[in-house]
Amino acid sequence: MRFNKTLIIIFLFSLGTRVAAQTWVVPDDQKAVVAPLKFTPDMQKQGEQLYMKNCQSCHGLPGKDNWAKLTPPPGDLSKEKAQKQTDGEIFYRITTGKVPMPEFRNILPEDDRWSVIAYLRSFNPKYIQPNPVAKAAFTGRIVTLSMQYSEPMKKIVVTASEQLKDGQAGLASGVEIMLYVKRYFGKMQVGDVKTTNAKGQALFEFPADFPGNKDGYVEVSAMVNDPKSIMKTTPANATLAIGVPTDKPSLTATRAMWSTRDKAPVWILLTYTLSVIIVWGFIFYIIYSILKIKRLSNG
């Protein structure tokens, strides 16, 4: 009975995930996207390397059906089910991801994503690449950002200006702005995406406990949130004294049991040195006395 229940639960669960899997719909306009370049053997080679690093741990080696047993099943990408998708569909799925598949938007540049597709297509003898379509000439907004810190408001003010059709400059409203701070391994986003108001301004509150360098300086940059690249944008950068001055001592500053010899705890140095000197002092004294025995002899 319990076994049956388990079976039912497994069935329902797999049904559920199947439904979930089917809900990963690719918008029609994205389906129609084609690669900007002709797939070349070089691209395929590069795609192979990228595939091995980023995809193989789940999808396995193409043609080997050795993909990881996950839910939903990742599947072998050289097989019919994956290959019947358009290039645009595959590109969209790689770009956006869907748990547990990571989104590769920020991991692989566009060209690399196309290289992976070129590699996957090399397993499909029936595949004929549609004619490449280079990116259309730019027709969208041209936005330039500037940034300063407003002491009275305690906020970072990002101002977006744009080049209007008549060539005049104007304030750009409705532009989504992201604020980043430079860290050792990359940029960290601060706060949420903000949209510029009618004055072309977006105000960012800066966390009060954010560590800066030892004088409190932080390198901040503002960027336009434009995932579909419909604008031409110029980001703004500034070094502002808005962080908490951080000058932590080196982790090896103090004397400790684990420090190098130069920084050994004083009591250990003392105890060790003294014990050795005292005991060996006696030893040398005894050796010296022993040698005296010879001189004290009768003849």
Partner 1 sequence: MDDSNTPHSNNESENQKGSSRRDFLKNLGLAGVGVAAGAAALYSGHIFEAKKEVSGDQKVLLTQDGKLVQVDSLEIKALEKNGKELHETLGREGIPGRRWVMVTDLSKCRNARKCINACQGAHQLRPEQYHMNTLQMQDTPGTAPYNMPKNCQHCDNPPCVAVCPVDATYKRPDGIVLIENDRCIGCRFCMAACPYSARIFNWIEPKDAANHQGEEYNVELNVPQKLGTISKCLFSADRLREGKLPYCVEACPNSVYYFGDENEDAVTNGTTKETVRLSKLLRDNGGYQLMPELGTKPRVYYLPPKNRLFPFEEAKDATPEKV
Partner 2 sequence: MTMDDNNLTFDKITSDLTHHIRINKGFMVWMGFLTVSLAVCLYAYSMQLRTGLGVAGIRDYVTWGLYLANFVFFVAASLIGMLISAVLGLIGMKWLTPITRIAETIAVAFAAVAGLIIISDMGRPERLAYVFIYARPQSPILWDVTVITTYFVLSLLLLFLPLIADMAVIHRKVASLPSWLKPVYKSLSLNFTDRPEQNKIINRSIRILLILLIPAALSIHTVTSWLFAVTSRAGWDSTVFGPYFVSGAFVAGSAAVIIAMFFFRKNYKLQDYLTDMHFNNMGKVLATVSLVYLYFNINEFLVPGYKMKRADAVHLQELFAGKDALLFWVVQLGGLVLPILFMLFRRFRKPLPIMLISIAVLIAAWFKRYIIVIPTQEHPFLPIQHVPQNFVHYSPTLIETLITIAPFILVLIIITLISKFFPVIPLHETAREKGIEHIKFD
Radius of gyration of the chain (CA): 34
User: At a CB cut-off of 8 Å and minimum separation 6, what does 98 contact?
Assistant: 24
Report 234-293 residues binding partner 1 (CB under 8 A).
246-248, 250-253, 256-262, 266, 269-270, 273-274, 277-278, 281-282, 285
Nearest approach, Cβ of 91 to partner 1 (angstroms)?
18
User: For residue 201, which phi and psi values (nearest 5 degrees)?
Assistant: -110, 145
- Is residue 185 at the binding interface for partner 1, with CB under 8 A as the rule? yes
Nearest approach, Cβ of 277 to partner 2 (angstroms)?
12
Contact region with partner 2 (CB under 8 A), list: 50-58, 93-101, 242-250, 253-261: 253-261
- Is residue 58 at the binding interface for partner 1, with CB under 8 A as the rule? yes
DSSP designation for 63: T
Nearest approach, Cβ of 133 to partner 1 (angstroms)?
29
Q: How many CB atoms lie within 10 A of CB 147?
A: 20
Nearest approach, Cβ of 263 to partner 2 (angstroms)?
10
Task: Using the minimum distance from each CB to partner 1, give the nearer residue, 132 or 207.
Answer: 207
- Is residue 18 at the binding interface for partner 1, with CB under 8 A as the rule? no
Give the whole-angstrom CA distance, residue 90 versus residue 124. 14
- Is residue 127 at the binding interface for partner 1, with CB under 8 A as the rule? no
- Is residue 287 at the binding interface for partner 2, with CB under 8 A as the rule? yes
Q: How many residues make contact with partner 2 (CB under 8 A)?
A: 29
User: At a CB cut-off of 8 Å and minimum separation 6, what does 195 contact?
Assistant: 174, 175, 176, 177, 202
Q: How many CB atoms lie within 10 A of CB 46?
A: 18
Nearest to 120 by CA among 102, 94, 101: 94
- Is residue 57 at the binding interface for partner 2, with CB under 8 A as the rule? no
Pick one of 9, 15, 25, 70: the residue that binds partner 1 (CB under 8 A): 70
Q: Which does 294 bind (CB under 5 to 8 A by kind): partner 2, partner 1, none?
A: partner 2
Nearest approach, Cβ of 280 to partner 2 (angstroms)?
7
Q: How far is CA 257 from CA 115, 248, 260, 275, in A?
A: 54, 21, 8, 19
What string of H, E and C letters represents the secondary structure of 159-219? EEEEECCCCCEEECCCCEEEEEEEECCEEEEEEEEEECCCCCEEEEECCCCCECCCCCCEE
- Tokens 């370049």 correspond to 37
Torsion of CA 191, 195, 196, 198, to 10 degrees: -140
Positions in the binding site for partner 1 (CB under 8 A): 53-55, 57-58, 68-71, 99-100, 102-103, 106-107, 181, 183-189, 210-211, 214, 246-248, 250-253, 256-262, 266, 269-270, 273-274, 277-278, 281-282, 285
Positions in the binding site for partner 2 (CB under 8 A): 257-261, 264-265, 268-269, 272-273, 276, 279-280, 282-283, 285-287, 289-294, 296-299
